[in-house]
Structure 1
Amino acid sequence: MCGICGWVSFGRDLRAEHAAVESMTETMACRGPDDHGTWVTEHAALGHRRLAIIDLPGGRQPMSVRTPNGPIVMVYSGEAYNFTELREELIGRGHRFHTDSDTEVVLVAYLEWGDAFAERLNGMYAFAIWDSRENKLVMVRDRMGIKPFYYYETADGVLFGSEPKAILANPLAERALTLDGVRELFAFVKTPGHAVWEGMREVEPGTIVTVRANGLRTTRYWTLETREHTDDRDASVAHVRELLEDIVRRQLVSDVPRCTLLSGGLDSSAMTAIAARQLAETGETVRSFAVDFVGQTENFVPDDLRGTPDTPYVHDVAAMSHTEHQDIVLDSDQLADPDVRSKVIRARDLPAGLGDMDASLYLLFKAIREHSTVALSGESADEVFGGYQQFFDPRAQRATTFPWLVRFADHFGKDDSILTPDLTEALDLPRYIQNAYDTSVAAIERLDGESDFEWRMRKVCYLHLTHFVRILLDRKDRASMAVGLEVRVPFCDHRLVEYVYNAPWSLKTYDDREKSLLRGATRDVLPPSVADRVKSPYPSTQDPKYAVKLQDNAREYLSTPGHPVFDIVSHDWLARAVEIETPQITQASRHGLERSLDLALWLDMYKPTLKLS
């Protein structure tokens, strides 16, 4: 796991731009604290920061192979979980290897198969290859978008990086935000390819972007396709278990300490239990970590989102699977600390607005990093197997919009309610969201003979797997890599995603509950309390002191009415929000305060040019 960046320019000699490339590379020191390297030639410059996971001495980058017509050089972030099999196949084709790293395997695979090599990879990755034979840059991103990857077209080439901050460190990149950028910040739809910053794009998941002197071309090597599911219930459950066993075994491979993230929910518990059984075969014990809040379990109050606290279930799993477990317990002072908020925003490069859920994730990862370098997460199982409440809400099932937005307003209010009236009118978020929805569902293929209800549920599942999950994957990657922790996501293995996506909804809910296939496949390794637990989202503090601290922090901005945040946030709304009495502070008000504080701090840190007219 690493950070990559680079600059391709067909109109200048980049050998005179070492300082700029070093500056771009240095922005991602947190992603790669173990090593760094740059490679510069006339029209291409590549930078790399390394977090050493596999083959600690042999995986240095940029990595190159020589050919009669010039070198092929790569910078790579992520993991190829099938590198052992690929290595053996390539050896059989006559290739020789000088390291034990998966990086070299990926590079040699490109040499052997060209662009077609991407289809052979199983993993999470973002990498860039400069091919001197054809003077071209090849950028590739994994199928699900687990690893972030951005680029910025210039007059004569492109800038690229694992994170926007690497691109923004180059003087050619303008720090600007247009109305479309603000729309993307507040729409909560994660438009594929959109990077919020003006002029910047994402390498979309499952695509290859090729840059030559005559321009840029994007090709897709993977998409979520509709296929007939022919297995019955027993065969489907058995195949899910078979896949999970293989996936977890592959993702436990590491030359550094690893652990699991354990929430006490079905997803992370099943993953932890399988990992514990596999490691026990070699006499190892799984380390597990969970986040908690001071007094949360003792004073927990059920609400519409969360019916139970996590900790008792976490401890049930830890006891049954014999993990070496640790709770990371946080208080409101830590969660509301402006310094923590600053670190989260710096990690994201954007005012994400998820408040204490972002802060607690960052602090959890920071604490874990003292013990482990790799962590396995249950992220994306809800999107794959159908776990969220909106999957079962008739309003969301029938809605002609993104299904999570139907329930989002119920819990957090309308995100644009905090904006100035003029900006709200200019944004016209309903139209933006509707256009994004219509574009997305137009790409879904309906199975012959599929009932109207199954077709609606296929669309709900597809949208979660191509939009919603990418919001959470980006959040997890940025928070973890900000402290040099690699988080792996077994449930994003494309084989599992493809298989379960095409299972009919009636099969995904065969026991009239959420995530039936996952529960059926793993019940034997789980305590009954967890196997039968109702879905509970990522935890959020219930301590009223947290909201009070948010109000205190917001008052500081109200004292400077000329602050640029009030070009976006309504001064009147914020003035009312800070005066709400503690018992009346709703989840919507708290969320609005978090969004406002994120925006204000982001504007102070990045000083973007706002083009809002």
Structure 2
Amino acid sequence: MCGITGWISYREDPRAQPSVIERMTAALARRGPDASGTWCGPHAAIGHRRLAVLDLPGGTQPMTAPAQSGPGAPPGPPAVVLSYSGEIYNHHALRARLRSRGHHFATRSDTEVLLRAYQEWGDGLTGHLDGMYAFAIWDAHRERLLLVRDRLGVKPLFFAEIPGGLVFGSEPKALFAHPSCRPRIDAQGMREAYGLVFSTGETLWSGVREVQPGGVAVFDRDGLAERLYWRLEARPHTDSGTTATVDTVRALLDRAARAQLEADVPLCALLSGGLDSTVLTALLADELRVREGAAARLRSYAVDYSDQVERFTGDVLRTGHDTPYAAEAGAFIGTDHHLVVLDPQALLDPAHRAAVVAARDSPIGVGDMDTSLYLLFGEMARHSAVALSGEAADEVFGGYPWFRSPAALAADTFPWLLVTSDEAAMPLHPALADTLRVGEFQADTYRSALADVPHLDGETPAQHRRRELQHLSLTRWLRQLLHRKDRLSMAQGLEVRVPYCDHRLVEYAFNTPVALQDFDGREKSLLRAAGARLAPHSVLHRPKNHYPATHHPDYNRGLQDLARDALAAGQGRIRDLVDETAVKPCLDTPPEHLQWGHRLRLERVVDLSLWLDHHRPELAF
């Protein structure tokens, strides 16, 4: 896993300003602690930061090649330059196909496979790739940039047009290292940030866009063109009955787990004690024993807080304390299990909070849950460079409360706005709220999002609504979870893979009738059945449990202090953005009685202050 960046210019010669691409590349140093490289040509400068995972000596980037390889390839300077982040899981099969077509390989890396695939198929290479990836290819002969992102958007890729050219990078901070691209927020950006609609393509930064999941962006002298090479489609379900459907789900899970276990560095798994992570960890541990022998043990990790045993409090998203279930699952599977326990001081540490906000490039987070995940990834990175996560199983298999909540099923809005109460955590100044009109923005975006949902003729109302909720969850809600996991893991130099995002599994589940998805009357029926022999009974039948949050009064008290300090130190700037009358009751509440929604309101105030201080953006509204 790596960080990629670049600058295309048809007005200037980037070779005359090498420090520009060097600064852009350095901005992504935490994504690639193992190596750094740049390439400069007449109209392009390409940068790369490497976290070495496959072919440690042979995967150096940017990687270059002539326009064609093999006999008769033209001599002279490189015609194709690649900077790539991610993993191509089918690179062995692609290498064999490309060799049969006359291509020669000097490395074992999937990077070179990607480069040769472009030489062979051009833009059509996207149809041959299986993996999580974001990459940029500069074709010097055609003076043309190709940007590509994986189907589910696991790996990020941002870009912005500038006078005479374009800049791109794995994170916005790389773009802002270019002198022509400055951090600026307008009213639409604030709507994107605080509307919680999780758009694809648009960002909170003015002029900065994301390559869409399953998308391609091409930039040349004629300008920018964007298109999708993959999207979710509505198709008939072809398996007959529950047994055949469960068997297919299990086969797809097996395939995804096997494909994503390859690495030339130590790897591990996130094991929370929930159904999703337990089933995945069991599949990975079994495959590791097949490859390395019966004694092989997969390292697994879970996070906990120092107060959870005494103070755990359930809510709509958290039904029980994870740690006993994680320990039982680790023992059942036979992993080398590790528990990382965090106290309020670690979660409140200003350096940790600032590092999280800097990693996200956004003021919108989830406070202690972000900081704890960042610290957990840091501990994991001490022993492993690759981790595997159960992220996306709830979106794929319908695990969230809103898939069954009568209010969410009937509501004419994004379901998470009702179930999580997150809409209450937007303490915007009344004057700003009047300008942004976030409610209207949410309603307009919701109607547009529903228009994108594919359907089949003759769907029942239940199937029609399930498809809407699943599509919204996979194309919007999942987007912010993947961003969170990518940013916080890469800030610690750790690659996280997400097998439940395998596009074949996603497509299959999306087109499975609701009666089969919920055949046992519970959430995630298909996953529970597919993993029936992979998890202990207690884990297999646990209700859905969200990522844990601390309940310690010392954390609440410290958070209140941080929010007071932010409002006092921020003076005019933050006070022009925050509704202090909505924040004051949260500051005055006894710490032991601070409710989740009000606490999240304070988290947003603290993060907004840190974000303003770190980026110092121009506020254009």
Q: TM-score, normalised by structure 1?
A: 0.98
Q: Distance in 2 between matches of 1:167 and 1:311?
A: 41
Deviation at 1:444, TM superposition (A): 1.7
Contact 1:267–1:381 at 8 Å: present in 2 too? yes
State the distance in 2 between where 1:353 and 1:491 align. Answer: 23
Of 378, 397, 401, 1:389 maps to 401
Aligned to 1:370: 382
Measured after TM superposition, the shift of residue 297 of structure 1 is 2.5
* Residue 358 (1) aligns with residue 358 (2): no
| Counterpart in the other structure of 1:331 | 343
Q: Does 1:528 align with 2:555?
A: no
After superposition, residues 119-268 of structure 1 pair within 5 angstroms as: 119-231=127-239, 232-268=241-277
* Alignment deviations for residues 123-158 of structure 1 (CA, whole Å, 9 cap, x no partner): 000000000121100000000000010001012110
Question: Does residue 564 of structure 2 align to residue 564 of structure 1?
Answer: no
**Among candidates 371, 376, 380, match of residue 392 of structure 2:** 380
Report if the CA contact (8 A) 1:387-1:514 is conserved.
yes
Q: Give the match for residue 587 of structure 1.
A: 596
Query: 1:339 deviation in Å?
Result: 1.1
* Distance (Å, rounded) in 1 between the aligned partners of 2:566 and 2:504: 49
Q: Extract unaligned runs of 5+ from structure 1.
A: none
2:49 alignment partner, SS class = strand
Match of 1:280 in 2: 289
The separation in 1 between residues aligned to 2:140 and 2:302, in whole angstroms, is: 47
By how many angstroms is 1:413 displaced?
A: 5.4
Cα shift at 1:563: 4.1
* SS of equivalent to 1:453: helix
Query: Conserved in 2, the CA contact under 8 Å of 1:558 and 1:575?
Result: no
In the alignment, does 2:55 pair up with 1:45?
no
Residue aligning to 1:71: 79
Structure 1 CA distance, aligned partners of 2:554 and 2:514?
Answer: 42
In 2, Cα distance between the equivalents of 1:407 and 1:474?
21
Q: Does 1:81 align with 2:89?
A: yes
How far does the alpha carbon of each residue in 1:415-470 deviate from its partner, in whole angstroms, 9 at most, with x for none?
33x11111111111111111111111112222121111210110000000000001
Matched residues in 2 for 1:262 and 1:139: separation? 34
User: Residues 185 and 620 of structure 2 are in contact (CA less than 8 Å); yes or no, is this contact kept in structure 1?
Assistant: yes
In 2: Cα distance, 1:539 partner to 1:254 partner = 29
Give the whole-Å Cα distance in 2 for the aligned partners of 1:191 and 1:500.
Answer: 22
Asked whether the 8 Å contact 2:5–2:174 carries over to 1, the reply is yes
Equivalent-residue separation in structure 2 for 1:300 and 1:47 (angstroms): 46
Q: Distance in 1 between matches of 2:311 and 2:599?
A: 19
After TM superposition, list the pairs within 5 Å mapping 1:433-444 onto structure 2. Answer: 433-444=442-453
Matched to 1:381, the amino acid is A
1:549 corresponds in structure 2 to: 558
Question: Is 1:104 equivalent to 2:116 in the alignment?
Answer: no
2:14/2:45 contact within 8 Å kept = yes
Equivalent residues of 2:424, 2:601 under 8 A apart: no
- Residue type matched to 1:185 in 2? A
- Quick check: 2:5–2:47 contact (8 Å CA) kept in 1? yes
Cα separation, partners in 2 of 1:405 and 1:413, compared to 1, 3 Å: closer
Q: Distance in 2 between matches of 1:189 and 1:105?
A: 37
* Corresponding residue of 2:23: 23
* Per-residue deviation, 1:299: 3.2
CA contact (8 A) 2:15 2:42 kept: yes
Q: Distance in 2 between matches of 1:72 and 1:491?
A: 33
Q: Which residue of 1 aligns with 2:424?
A: 414
Superposed CA offset, 1:475-501 (max 9, x none): 000000001000000000001000011
What letter is aligned with 2:35? D
Partners of 1:557 and 1:563 within 8 A in 2: no
Task: Indicate if the aligned counterparts of 2:417 and 2:423 stay in contact, CA closer than 8 A.
Answer: no
Shift of 1:162: 0.2
Task: Supply the distance in 2 between the matched residues of 1:574 and 1:454 (Cα, whole angstroms).
Answer: 41
Say which of 462, 466, 479 aligns to 1:470.
Answer: 479
> Which residue of structure 1 lines up, in the alignment, with residue 35 of structure 2?
35
Number of the residue aligned with 1:90: 98
Q: Is the 8 A contact 1:398 1:456 kept in 2?
A: no
Out of 481, 496, 510, which is 1:487 matched to? 496
For the residue of structure 1 that corresponds to 2:31, the secondary structure is coil
Letter paired with 2:617: P
- How many pairs are equivalent? 609
- DSSP-derived class of the 2:166 partner: strand
Equivalent residues of 2:136, 2:148 under 8 A apart: yes
Q: SS of 1:375's equivalent? A: strand
Distance, in Å, in 1 between the alignment partners of 2:531 and 2:237 is: 21
Name the structure 2 match of 1:301: 313
RMSD of Structure 2 on Structure 1 (CA): 1.2
Per the alignment, in what secondary structure is the counterpart of residue 5 of structure 1? strand
Name the CA distance, whole Å, in 2 between partners of 1:508 and 1:207: 29
Poorly superposed stretches of 4+, deviation over 4 Å: none
On the 8 A contact 2:276/2:393 being kept in 1, the answer is yes
Q: Percent identity?
A: 48
Cα offset for 1:276? Answer: 1.0
C-alpha distance in 1, partners of 2:365/2:176? Answer: 21
CA gap of 1:561–1:205, structure 2 versus 1, over 3 A, is: closer
CA distance in 2 between counterparts of 1:192 and 1:296 reads: 36
Work out whether residues 76 and 127 of structure 1, in 8 Å CA contact, stay in contact via their aligned partners in 2: yes
Distance 1:108 1:398 in 2: 50
